[in-house]
């Protein structure tokens, strides 16, 4: 912050700032492209506020939140979201550590998430279609992000499309390579002979694997050149087909059909006559965290006919949830790529299809979008209105004495001014493996207060019944769990318990 105030915000001070941010994010911080957020964690309020001031000096707005465990404050989070998170992610990527990808053991997954998030601020354009002195077709292609701009040359050569950037300044070439990475294309910086020039060069296959914005710009260059008669039509069509194929299969996903049925439901389906293709896709969805039968259905090809993998509504919703709250970075990336691909296919199918897909995806992501701390709502139980103010809460997985996996949800709340810690324990019961939660109190008033808390958080009333021994029992079901999953403090544990206890 002091560097920014003393020297101004320029490339030098941005490098200092990004280096400090890199260390903080690499420690207890996080970057989430799906949630569109970046966060740092500190044990001291003063340090968190200093970070907030440093971000403000660089034009980035933040929110400082307390991290609770019951009644105790464990630390403070500095949260950057929305457009400011995109700006910070781009800065972190441009001036942060190198992105190592070849070996899973050394991949910086937080930096990889920053690439995805920073790419939301990416702009790709082209101009200056021309013939060179050597007869080549050329154009200028510009990639920019966060005020940083790099201009590349695009050449339509005899058998390939080539994109090049050259500079005598190595740092400029490195920056051009990083902007290309934001556009989905990996490229190395190399030195050209003894001339002291540094360059970046990529060809058709690598360009075809890039982001949609890049592919569209290059395809437009090819089409314009074809219209002018500067490129043979069959050659141009071959390039356009390769660019389109690369876009569709960028992440290795097969071609899903996304459309609305007559009833208005969203249908997401992959069909093939190959049993291997169907089996491979079903396995990929299971690896992502979707459950066959619950989230997708499979019909194997028979007698040379077409089989299919069909994603149910709650399957797409769950994939969206996993893209934010998956059990690890690999699962989050796989789910986020799948959701992005399905949304792209929906956009191609038209506005109504796209709107429906977005609605389902947003519902999935919203599961963990709320915070327990500060949540307040009025609810009515047995004709009486209660004011529920939630202080915090958490969820944890436990084992019963018989070895059954349980999920215990704890909520600290004030109900009409009375503060209590409430606990609900979920288990699996019956031949259908139903998820049920139970809580026990001895006083009618306490039962009503707990029922008010449950309904306020989930939107669903729990069942209340008095047992023969006088104990009052509150019973919750799957719909209550879905309500609890909307809260960030509970979402991960709920999802993990459901996954580990499913059949």
Q: Alpha helix locations (H) across 303-350?
A: 313-325, 329-349
Domain limits of the chain? 2-97, 123-248, 257-366, 376-501
Question: Residue 452 has what pLDDT?
Answer: 96
Per the structure block, which two tokens stand in for 232? 């043979």
Q: What is the dihedral of CA 362, 365, 368, 373, to 10 degrees?
A: -40
Span 164-223, pLDDT tens digits: 998 888 878 888 888 887 787 877 888 876 667 888 888 887 787 777 788 889 999 999
Chain length of the chain = 503
Whole-number Å distance between alpha carbons of 107 and 113: 11
Taking residues 11-16, report their average pLDDT.
68
pLDDT category at 146 given cuts 50, 70, 90 is: low
Cα(41)–Cα(340) distance, integer angstroms: 29
From 235-249, 404-418, 461-475, the region with the lowest mean pLDDT: 235-249
Instruction: Assess contact for 301 and 272: CB atoms under 8 A.
Output: yes
Q: Which residue has the higher pLDDT, 318 or 57?
A: 318
**Gap between the Cα atoms of 49 and 67, Å rounded:** 14
**DSSP calls for 428-483:** EETTTTEEEEEEEESSHHHHHHHHHHHHHHHSSPPEEEE-TTS-EEEEE-HHHHHH
What pLDDT, on the 0 to 100 scale, is given for residue 104? 39
Check residue 103 and give its pLDDT.
37
Q: Report the alpha-carbon distance of residue 38 to residue 116 in Å, rounded.
A: 12
| Full-model pTM | 0.46
For residue 100, name the pLDDT band (cuts at 50, 70, 90): very low
Gap between the Cα atoms of 484 and 369, Å rounded: 11
- The residue that leads in pLDDT, 54 or 472, is 472
Q: Smallest Cα–Cα separation from 207: which of 137, 160, 166, 169? A: 160
The proportion of the chain whose per-residue pLDDT surpasses 90, expressed as a percent, equals: 31
pLDDT at 334: 83
pLDDT of residue 247 exceeding 60: no
Nearest CA to 475 among 440, 434, 432, 429?
440
More confident residue, 130 or 28: 130
- Rounded distance between C-alpha atoms, residue 148 and residue 162, angstroms: 22
User: How many whole angstroms separate alpha carbon 371 and alpha carbon 63?
Assistant: 13
DSSP, collapsed to helix, strand or coil, labels residue 309 as: strand
- Quick one: pLDDT band at residue 107, thresholds 50, 70, 90? very low
Q: At what angle do helices 313-325 and 488-501 cross, to 10 degrees?
A: 120
Predicted local confidence at residue 48, as pLDDT: 83
Q: Where are the alpha helices (DSSP H) in 350-378?
A: 351-365
Query: What does 223-266 look like in DSSP terms, one character per residue?
Result: HHHHHTTSS-HHHHHHHHHHHHHHHHTTTS----EEEE-TTS-E
Cα 255 from Cα 244, distance rounded (Å)? 12
Residue 265 confidence (pLDDT) above 80: yes
Class of domain 2-97: alpha beta
């Amino acid at each position: 912050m002091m560097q920014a105030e003393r020297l101004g915000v320029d490339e030098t001070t941005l490098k200092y700032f990004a280096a400090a941010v890199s260390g903080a994010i690499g420690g207890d911080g996080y970057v989430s492209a799906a949630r569109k957020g970046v966060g740092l964690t500190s044990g001291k309020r003063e340090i968190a506020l200093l970070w907030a001031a440093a971000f403000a000096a660089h034009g980035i707005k933040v929110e400082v939140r307390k991290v609770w465990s019951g009644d105790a404050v464990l630390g403070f989070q500095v949260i950057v979201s929305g457009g400011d998170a995109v700006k910070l992610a781009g800065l972190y990527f441009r001036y942060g550590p190198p992105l190592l990808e070849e070996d899973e053991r050394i991949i910086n997954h937080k930096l990889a998430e920053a690439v995805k998030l920073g790419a939301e601020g990416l702009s790709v354009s082209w101009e200056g279609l021309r013939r060179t002195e050597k007869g080549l077709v050329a154009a200028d292609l510009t990639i920019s992000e966060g005020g940083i701009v790099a201009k590349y040359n695009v050449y339509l050569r005899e058998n390939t499309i080539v994109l090049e950037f050259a500079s005598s300044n190595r740092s400029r070439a490195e920056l051009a390579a990083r902007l290309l990475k934001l556009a989905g294309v990996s490229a190395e910086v190399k030195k050209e002979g003894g001339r002291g020039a540094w360059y970046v060069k990529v060809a058709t296959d690598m360009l075809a694997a890039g982001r949609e914005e890049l592919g569209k710009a290059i395809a437009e260059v090819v089409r314009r050149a074809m219209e002018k008669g500067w490129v043979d039509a069959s050659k141009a069509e071959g390039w356009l087909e390769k660019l389109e194929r690369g876009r569709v299969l960028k992440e290795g996903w097969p071609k899903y059909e996304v459309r609305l049925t007559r009833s208005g439901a969203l249908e997401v389906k992959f069909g093939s006559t190959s049993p291997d293709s169907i089996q491979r896709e079903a396995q990929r969805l299971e690896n992502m965290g979707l459950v066959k039968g619950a989230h997708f259905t499979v019909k194997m090809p028979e007698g040379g006919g077409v089989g299919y993998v069909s994603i149910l509504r709650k399957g797409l919703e769950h994939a969206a949830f996993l893209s934010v709250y998956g059990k690890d970075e690999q699962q989050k990336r796989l789910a986020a790529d799948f959701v992005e691909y399905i949304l792209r296919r929906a956009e191609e199918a038209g506005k109504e299809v796209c709107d429906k897909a977005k609605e389902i995806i947003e519902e999935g992501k919203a599961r963990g979008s709320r915070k327990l701390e500060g949540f307040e709502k009025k609810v009515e139980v047995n004709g009486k209105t209660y004011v529920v103010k939630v202080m915090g809460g958490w969820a944890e997985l436990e084992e019963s004495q018989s070895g059954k996996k349980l999920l215990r949800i704890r909520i600290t709340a004030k109900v009409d001014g009375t503060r209590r810690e409430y606990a609900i324990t979920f288990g699996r019961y019956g031949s259908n493996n139903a998820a049920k939660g139970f809580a026990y109190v001895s006083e009618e008033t306490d039962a009503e207060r707990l029922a008010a808390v449950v309904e306020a958080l989930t939107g669903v009333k729990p069942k209340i019944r008095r047992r023969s021994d006088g104990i009052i029992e509150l019973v919750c079901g799957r719909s209550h769990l879905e309500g609890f999953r909307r809260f960030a403090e509970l979402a991960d544990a709920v999802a993990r318990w459901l996954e580990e206890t499913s059949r």
